[in-house]
C-alpha cells in the first residue's frame, strides 16, 4: 500500500466539505468519494439517493458477498470550516475537518479492499444525523451478510469499540390550563410545575450501576411572564448498554401519569438505535487480536454509530476499525499518520480471514473461543 497516495486521497475528500444537513454538499462529496473509490477498487459504486441524501454501495467481486464494511462520508462541520482548519500534516499529525470522523476510514477501505471477492462496502451520507434515510439500507445489508466491520474512528490509543450504548429519544409533552398569574393563578393548571414533577420522575429511571443514563434536556413552557403556562415539553436522552434496559426505560416513560389535577401528559418518540452489545463483537474481536502484530485493546463507548444498527439486526459487528487519533467533533480533530498503513493492513487481513473462514463455521476455533468474551 502507498501511504502518499492514501494521503492524497484523504486530502481530496477532506477538501470537499460535506456537512450532513447540506444536501448539495453531501451530493458533491459523494461524487468525489465515488471517483476515488472507483480508481482504487476498480469498480464503480451504485449511487443511492433517499430523501435527497446520497449514499454509495460497492459490490466487490462476483460474490457471494459475505462481509459488510460500513462507513460514512458526511461530517459535522459547516461549509467554511476548511478555511479555519485546512488540511495539514505536521509532525506526523494530520488535521482537517472530518479527517478522524471518519474520512480516514474511507481512505483505509479504498486501499485495503482492492482485489477481494465477496465484500460489500457501504458508504452513507447521513450518519451524523442518526441515519434517517440510510437506516433501512444499513439494516438490510447487515441482514444479508455474515459480519459487519465499521470504519468509525478508534477509541483512545487505537482501541476497538466492542460495545456502544443504544440511544432512545423522547419528547415529554404536558398540557395544563392558562390563567392570569396575578389575578387568579389558582384557576390555572401550571404546565411548568407538572414538567418539573415529570422531569424528576424521568431522571429517576437512570441506573448508573447498569450504565443506563436518562437525561431530561431541552425544556420549554409558557407564553408570557404573567400567564400560568398552559403547555410545555422537554426532551429526554436515554443511553443503555442492553436491549432489556432500553425496553424497561421505554415502558416506564410510556407509563408516566400527571401529578397535578387537570394536567395531561403525552410521551412521543422511542428507541433510535439499539445497543451494540459485547456478545455481538466477541468473535470478531478474537479474530482481530489473532491477526494483529500488536496488542489490540477494546472499550465500551457511549456514542452511537451504524454499528448499532448492524448489531441490532443480529449481525456480528466490530466497530472502531478506522483511524487512530482523536478530537472527533472538536477543533483538535486529528489523525496519527504512522497508524494509517498498519490499520489498513489489519482491515485487509481481517476481511480476508472472514472470507476464508466464515464465523458461522462451527469448526472455527477462533470464533468458538471468542463467543461470550467480554
pTM of the shown model: 0.87
Give me the count of residues in the chain. Answer: 374
- Binned at pLDDT 50, 70 and 90, residue 361 comes out as low
**Average pLDDT of the segment spanning 272-281:** 94
The per-residue pLDDT for range 63-99, each reduced to its tens digit, is 799 999 999 999 999 999 999 999 999 999 999 999 9
> Would strands 119-124 and 93-95 be described as parallel, antiparallel, or unpaired?
unpaired
Average pLDDT over residues 343-354: 98
Reported as a pLDDT band with limits 50, 70 and 90, residue 366 is very low
Non-local (6+) Cβ contacts of 18 within 8 A are: 25, 26, 28, 29, 73, 74, 75, 98, 125
Helix (H, G, I), strand (E, B) or coil at 361: coil
Average pLDDT over residues 325-340: 95
Q: Exactly one of 9, 74, 128, 306 is catalytic; which is it? A: 74
Residue predicted with more confidence, 370 or 336: 336
Which cell numbers in the block locate residue 122?
A: 457501504
The pLDDT assigned to 299 comes to: 97
Q: What is the pLDDT of residue 165?
A: 96
pLDDT score for 303: 86
Q: Is 127 a catalytic residue?
A: yes
CA distances from 232 to 182, 229, 249, 314 (A): 20, 7, 22, 39
The residue behind cell 404536558 is 174
Q: What is the mean pLDDT of residues 249-262?
A: 98
Closest to 75 (Cα-Cα) out of 33, 35, 117: 33
Contacts of 284 (CB under 8 A, 6+ apart): 147, 149, 316, 317, 318, 350, 359, 370
Predicted confidence at residue 367, as pLDDT, reads: 36
Q: How many whole angstroms separate alpha carbon 316 and alpha carbon 258?
A: 42
Residue 302 pLDDT: 86
> Which pLDDT score is estimated for 295?
94
Higher pLDDT, 361 or 374: 361
pLDDT attached to residue 362: 42
Mean pLDDT of the 348-356 span: 97
All domains in the chain, ordered by first residue: 3-165+275-370 (3.40.630.10), 166-273 (3.30.70.360)
Looking at the predicted structure, is the pLDDT value of residue 23 above 80? Answer: yes
**Each residue of 186-219: pLDDT tens digit?**
999 999 999 999 999 999 999 999 999 999 999 9
What was the pLDDT predicted at 372? Answer: 28
Q: What pLDDT is stored for residue 63 in this prediction? A: 79
Tens digit of pLDDT for each residue in 237-254? 999 999 999 999 999 999
Residue found by looking up cell 500488536 in the block: 294
pLDDT of 365 > 60? The answer is no
Catalytic residue among 17, 101, 126, 127: 127
Amino acid at each position: 500500500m502507498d501511504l502518499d497516495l492514501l494521503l492524497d486521497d484523504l486530502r481530496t475528500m477532506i477538501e470537499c466539505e460535506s456537512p450532513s444537513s447540506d444536501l448539495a454538499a453531501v451530493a458533491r462529496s459523494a461524487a468525489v468519494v465515488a471517483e476515488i473509490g472507483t480508481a482504487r477498487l476498480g469498480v464503480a459504486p451504485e449511487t443511492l439517493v433517499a430523501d435527497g441524501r446520497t449514499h454509495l454501495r460497492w459490490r466487490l467481486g462476483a460474490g457471494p458477498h459475505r462481509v459488510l464494511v460500513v462507513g460514512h462520508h458526511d461530517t459535522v462541520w459547516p461549509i467554511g470550516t476548511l478555511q479555519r482548519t485546512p488540511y495539514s500534516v505536521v509532525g506526523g499529525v494530520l488535521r482537517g475537518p472530518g479527517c478522524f470522523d471518519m474520512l480516514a476510514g474511507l481512505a483505509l477501505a479504498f486501499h485495503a479492499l482492492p482485489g477481494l471477492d465477496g465484500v460489500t462496502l457501504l458508504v452513507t451520507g447521513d450518519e451524523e444525523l442518526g441515519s434517517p434515510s440510510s437506516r433501512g439500507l444499513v439494516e438490510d445489508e447487515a441482514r444479508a451478510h455474515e459480519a459487519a466491520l465499521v470504519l468509525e474512528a478508534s477509541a483512545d490509543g487505537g482501541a476497538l469499540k466492542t460495545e456502544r450504548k443504544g440511544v432512545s429519544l423522547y419528547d415529554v409533552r404536558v398540557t395544563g390550563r392558562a390563567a392570569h398569574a396575578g389575578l387568579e393563578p389558582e384557576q390555572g393548571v401550571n404546565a411548568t410545575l407538572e414538567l418539573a414533577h415529570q422531569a424528576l420522575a424521568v431522571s429517576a429511571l437512570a441506573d448508573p450501576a447498569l450504565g443506563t443514563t436518562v437525561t431530561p434536556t431541552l425544556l420549554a413552557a409558557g407564553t408570557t411572564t404573567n400567564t400560568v403556562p398552559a403547555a410545555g415539553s422537554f426532551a429526554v436522552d436515554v443511553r443503555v448498554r442492553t436491549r432489556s434496559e432500553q425496553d424497561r426505560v421505554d415502558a416506564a416513560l410510556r407509563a408516566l401519569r400527571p401529578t397535578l389535577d387537570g394536567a395531561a401528559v403525552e410521551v412521543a418518540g422511542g428507541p433510535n438505535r439499539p445497543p451494540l452489545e459485547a456478545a455481538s463483537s466477541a468473535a470478531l474481536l478474537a479474530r482481530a487480536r489473532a491477526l494483529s502484530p500488536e496488542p489490540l485493546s477494546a472499550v465500551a463507548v457511549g456514542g452511537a454509530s451504524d454499528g448499532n444498527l448492524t448489531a441490532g439486526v443480529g449481525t456480528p459487528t466490530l466497530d472502531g476499525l478506522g483511524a487512530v487519533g482523536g478530537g472527533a467533533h472538536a477543533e483538535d480533530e486529528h489523525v496519527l499518520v504512522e497508524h494509517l498503513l498498519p490499520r489498513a493492513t489489519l482491515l485487509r487481513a481481517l476481511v480476508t480471514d472472514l472470507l476464508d473462514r466464515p464465523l458461522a463455521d462451527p469448526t472455527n476455533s477462533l470464533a468458538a473461543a471468542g463467543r461470550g468474551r467480554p
